[in-house]
Amino acid sequence: MGALRRKLNRAGLSGLLVTHLPDIRYLAGFTGSSAALAVTRHQARLFTDGRYRAQAAEEVQAAKVDIVSGAPAVAAVQWIAAQAKVESVGFDAAVVTVAELNRWKGALPARLRRGLLRAVDEPLVQDLRMVKDAEELAILREAALTGCRLFDHILTVLRPGVSEIEVAAELEYQARRLGAEGMSFETIVASGLRSAMPHGRATSNPLPRHGFLTLDFGIILRGYCSDMTRTVFLGSPKAGERSAYQAVLEAQEAAVAAVSSGVSCGDVDEAARSVLRGQGLAEAFTHSTGHGVGLEIHEPPRVGAGQATRLQAGMVITIEPGIYTPGKFGIRIEDMVAVTRSGGEVLTPAPKALIEL
Ligand code: ZN
Ligand code: ZN
């Protein structure tokens, strides 16, 4: 809260309304699905409903808790408006709908409707969340390692004829058994021609006798997400398939090697992109190199072309270049990397040399 209040001061705000649940969890520890948090220079108050009375009492230490019968966000707006010396209250423009804002304004006295609430374009809490503390890093490390164990296990299941859905189901079942609260996004299992779809959902298609198979998956552990991708080969790859894989691997390793505190996200992206460009594969690399990961599967910073954000020790990002040739195949390799003072710590040490099954 201290760091957040310094940011509020710098932004000229006397308060902040937080309604994005991962932000609330980060600031106050509350994990329920209905809440709003109001922060002023000297107080913090969490509003939730009766279903969460016991849970809020157990989880929330950093704020006082109010149980309300109506919408928590409306109660939070009314409470913060009634506090002394609160003239401008920020909210994150990226997560509040126009309808929600109108509801908040409607709940305010007429004289405060125009001036009190201020949309903040640069999300203050997400900004803080970018740099993880030691406790968060320990959870992310454990989540990522659990992902690697799942990958090891799934290698024993993969063979021609097994359906993509069976592969996804086995991954998800084992993830639960290893302590995951859930998957951090819909598991991607894309084989053969479907591997050319960067976000190919698992289908009932059987794994082919010859072709790439992309597995992109992550688990949620104590609220934190893991994310990794490996592409393996069923059968024996032809020379062109092998060299395409080598190009992606080289690009991925170049970007991992570029990670260090002080380096811009754009430069990390360029490290991967320039390798693929050199192989004539620039057009086939159709997305960004990576993204931040933490309480949400996609969070700042964006590791993409031209991104000026500089990496700082404690940030956790993914490095996941890929190439996609419709009608042929796709290949992606993704690691989670924690930024350190002098480089990067790869959190997902699963093998990356092409596995042939
Ligand atoms: Zn992924
Ligand atoms: Zn990712």
Torsion of CA 292, 214, 267, 353, to 10 degrees: 120
pLDDT at 199 (0 to 100): 87
Proximal ligand: closest to the CA of 292: 2
Rounded to 5 degrees, φ, ψ at 168 are -60, -45
Alpha helices in the chain (DSSP H): 2-10, 21-28, 53-59, 72-81, 98-106, 124-129, 134-155, 164-177, 239-258, 265-278
Strand order in the sheet with 182-183: 182-183, 219-221, 224-225
Longest dimension (CA), the chain: 73
> Which residues hold their Cβ within 5 A of ligand 2, which is an ion?
227, 318
Find the 297 Cα to ligand 2 centroid distance in Å. 7
pLDDT at 1 (0 to 100): 87
Kindly give the confidence (pLDDT) of every residue in the chain, 357 residues in length, as a single tens digit, with 9 standing for 90 and above: 889 999 999 999 999 999 999 999 999 999 999 999 999 999 999 999 999 999 999 999 999 999 999 999 999 999 999 999 999 999 999 999 999 999 999 999 999 998 999 999 888 999 999 999 999 999 999 999 999 999 999 999 999 999 999 999 999 999 999 999 999 999 999 999 999 998 889 999 999 999 999 999 999 999 999 999 999 999 999 999 999 999 999 999 999 999 999 999 999 999 999 999 999 999 999 999 999 999 999 999 999 999 999 999 999 999 999 999 999 999 999 999 999 999 999 999 999 999 999
Proximal ligand: closest to the CA of 214: 1
C-alpha–C-alpha distance, residues 236 and 289, integer Å: 28
pLDDT at 248 (0 to 100): 98
CATH superfamily of 2-128: Creatinase/prolidase N-terminal domain (3.40.350.10)
Find the 93 Cα to ligand 2 centroid distance in Å. 24
Decide if 193 contacts 122 (C-beta within 8 A): no
Which residues, other chains included, contact 109 with Cβ-Cβ below 8 Å and sequence gap of 6+?
81
Q: Determine the Cα angle at 333 with ends 327 and 335, to 5°.
A: 155
For residue 148, which of 210, 256, 221, 198 has the smallest C-alpha distance? 221
Find the 1 Cα to ligand 1 centroid distance in Å. 31
Structure tokens, 189 = 């299992």
Find the 355 Cα to ligand 1 centroid distance in Å. 19
C-alpha–C-alpha distance, residues 61 and 41, integer Å: 17
- Ramachandran class of 332: left when φ > 0, alpha when ψ lies in -120 to 50, beta otherwise: beta
> Per the omega criterion (within 30 degrees of 0), is the bond before 301 cis?
yes
Find the 80 Cα to ligand 1 centroid distance in Å. 39
Structure tokens, 136 = 């968060």
Find the 36 Cα to ligand 2 centroid distance in Å. 28
Proximal ligand: closest to the CA of 298: 2
Structure tokens, 100 = 């929600």
Rounded to two decimals, the pTM is: 0.95
Decide if 222 contacts 139 (C-beta within 8 A): yes
pLDDT at 191 (0 to 100): 95
Find the 293 Cα to ligand 1 centroid distance in Å. 10
pLDDT at 122 (0 to 100): 87
Rounded to 5 degrees, φ, ψ at 162 are -70, 135
Find the 29 Cα to ligand 2 centroid distance in Å. 25
C-alpha–C-alpha distance, residues 44 and 73, integer Å: 14
Find the 217 Cα to ligand 1 centroid distance in Å. 6
Q: Which residues pair with 290 in a beta bridge?
A: 303
Decide if 261 contacts 351 (C-beta within 8 A): no
Proximal ligand: closest to the CA of 215: 1
DSSP string, 172-212: HHHHHHTT-SEESSPPEEEEGGGGGSTT-B--SPBPPSSEE
Every domain of the chain and the residues it spans: 2-128, 131-346
Find the 218 Cα to ligand 2 centroid distance in Å. 9
Q: How many CA atoms lie within 13 A of 312 on its CB side?
A: 11
Find the 290 Cα to ligand 1 centroid distance in Å. 9
Residues 131-346, CATH architecture: Alpha-Beta Complex (3.90)
